[in-house]
Amino acid sequence: MKDIIQQIQSLGLNQYEAKAYVSLVRQGATSAYQVSKESGIPRSRIYEILNGLEEEGIVIKEEINDSVQYSPLPVDVFLESVQSKWNNTYQSISETLKNFEVTEPTSDIRVMTLKGDRHILSFCRTLLQKAEKKVVISLWDNMYERLEQDLIDKAPNIDLKGIVFQVESPLSGLDIHRKTSYVDSIGENKWFILSIDGREMIYGPSIDERETAFYTDDPVHIYLLENYIWHDILVNRLVKEGKKDTDNWIAREREKFFGSN
């Protein structure tokens, strides 16, 4: 019950309003006293709350004989009303903000920190939609699964390149990183890189572990990280073509370079 109250509050109602509406949905037409009793809204506030909802058209007030009863707006109608209001608000906000947004090219190079898994994923999807010629990626399975449909939608119109980890059947153009003890034991240290057209990039750690990523249009960042991806692909291909013990040799050399930590 707590979850649905919070979700309805996110649609613009306060806590008491959400409780009153849910109570009416559960009970049907009833008195203010019963709504107060069932919902836990103080009796001193219940008429104020119900009358406010009536003014908004969310509650229907009926006088029957000498008593007053309240009914909820049918759920389908309520949800349609909320969706229509949200769509209108979204359209209005979208047009206004886009008019405010500076669209002229700027010489300032940016490296921005992004917070929150939903914002990071939305930013990734927005970049993919903007891609005109090329998308370069390095993704582990958890991030690949989240962006797979967006990549599928974009793949026919761009050149998709990169490497994926622990993904069984990736899209054409993507290399599968070979299975190694290092890959299997990496835990949550699953960084991702998404670059479009060599001009914008998002990179960061696994959003399951740390909801932080970085956006940049800095050519140096993009050059270095795209070359990092190419180096990973190249080594992966050389190992597959080379001797069977190459993986062990790479593991030893990595240990020498980075140490035990």
Has residue 92 been placed in a domain? no
Has residue 89 been placed in a domain? no
Tens digit of each residue's pLDDT (9 = 90 or more) over 38-52: 999 999 999 999 999
Please report how many Cα atoms fall inside a 13 Å half-sphere around the Cα of residue 231, on the Cβ side: 6
pLDDT of residue 30: 93
Indicate whether 36 and 130 sit together in one domain.
Answer: no
Indicate whether 117 and 69 sit together in one domain.
Answer: no
Indicate whether 163 and 224 sit together in one domain.
Answer: yes
pLDDT of residue 258: 66
Q: Which of 51, 75, 99 is the last residue of a domain?
A: 75
Query: Is residue 35 within 8 Å of residue 77, measured between CB atoms?
Result: no
**Residue 133 phi/psi, 5° resolution?**
-125, -45
What CATH number corresponds to the domain at position 158?
3.30.870.10
Indicate whether 146 and 190 sit together in one domain.
Answer: yes
Q: Which two tokens stand for residue 149?
A: 């449909």
Indicate whether 71 and 130 sit together in one domain.
Answer: no
Query: Is residue 168 within 8 Å of residue 143, measured between CB atoms?
Result: no
Has residue 99 been placed in a domain? no
Indicate whether 25 and 139 sit together in one domain.
Answer: no
pLDDT of residue 243: 59
In the numeric block, the tokens 């890189």 are attached to 193
CA nearest 170: which of 186, 188, 147?
147
In the numeric block, the tokens 């009416």 are attached to 24
Has residue 87 been placed in a domain? no
Torsion angle defined by CA atoms of residues 145, 148, 149 and 154, in that order, rounded to the nearest 10 degrees = 160
Domain that holds residue 134: 111-258
Q: Which two tokens stand for residue 64?
A: 């029957």
Q: Is the pTM of this model over 0.75?
A: no
Has residue 144 been placed in a domain? yes
pLDDT of residue 181: 74
Indicate whether 249 and 123 sit together in one domain.
Answer: yes
Has residue 85 been placed in a domain? no
What CATH number corresponds to the domain at position 28?
1.10.10.10
Indicate whether 140 and 242 sit together in one domain.
Answer: yes
CA nearest 79: which of 4, 135, 146?
4
Indicate whether 249 and 195 sit together in one domain.
Answer: yes
Q: Which of 26, 59, 75 is the last residue of a domain?
A: 75
Indicate whether 37 and 157 sit together in one domain.
Answer: no
Has residue 90 been placed in a domain? no
Distance CA 1, CA 23 (A): 10
CA nearest 192: which of 172, 171, 169, 215?
215
Indicate whether 71 and 135 sit together in one domain.
Answer: no
Indicate whether 69 and 20 sit together in one domain.
Answer: yes
Total domains in the chain come to 2
Residues of the chain with pLDDT under 50: 261
Query: Is residue 127 within 8 Å of residue 193, measured between CB atoms?
Result: no
pLDDT of residue 103: 60
Has residue 152 been placed in a domain? yes
Distance CA 138, CA 147 (A): 12
